[in-house]
Amino acid sequence: MAKSKDGWYPANALVYSVDWIDPDRYDSGHYDVVYSYRVADEEYVGRFSDHTSPDADYLHKGDTIDIFYNPAKTKESFYPPVGKGINRWAFAAAGAVLAVIVMLIVYLSGGFK
């Protein structure tokens, strides 16, 4: 099992649903995964988004995954292996910074006359 946040307990969870959300202008597309887990005799529901390839062999309804839950607030949980895709806004910001740097170099080398 993956390493947890400090003090969070491991648990097995049952995948309830896995849906691919198509990309749009604000998101690169992602899986929306809903799972359930038990602590004592209470059942809880968790959810996460995973920005991996839609072509990847992925989780399916009925799969069992290892999650971690907060013992102080058992309704809080997380799935540790979630991959983070490139955030579209971070990519755009990096491109803008690069464009400014290129323009500054051109300007300082005598361009833009």
Do residues 68 and 77 lie in contact, with contact meaning Cβ atoms separated by under 8 Å?
yes
Give the span between the Cα atoms of 20 and 35, in whole angstroms.
15
**Average of per-residue pLDDT across 49-69:** 85
- The overall average pLDDT reported for the chain is 81
Amino acid at 44: Y
Tokens of 83: 């991959």
Do residues 32 and 38 lie in contact, with contact meaning Cβ atoms separated by under 8 Å?
no
- Dump pLDDT digits (tens) for 48-57: 988 777 766 7
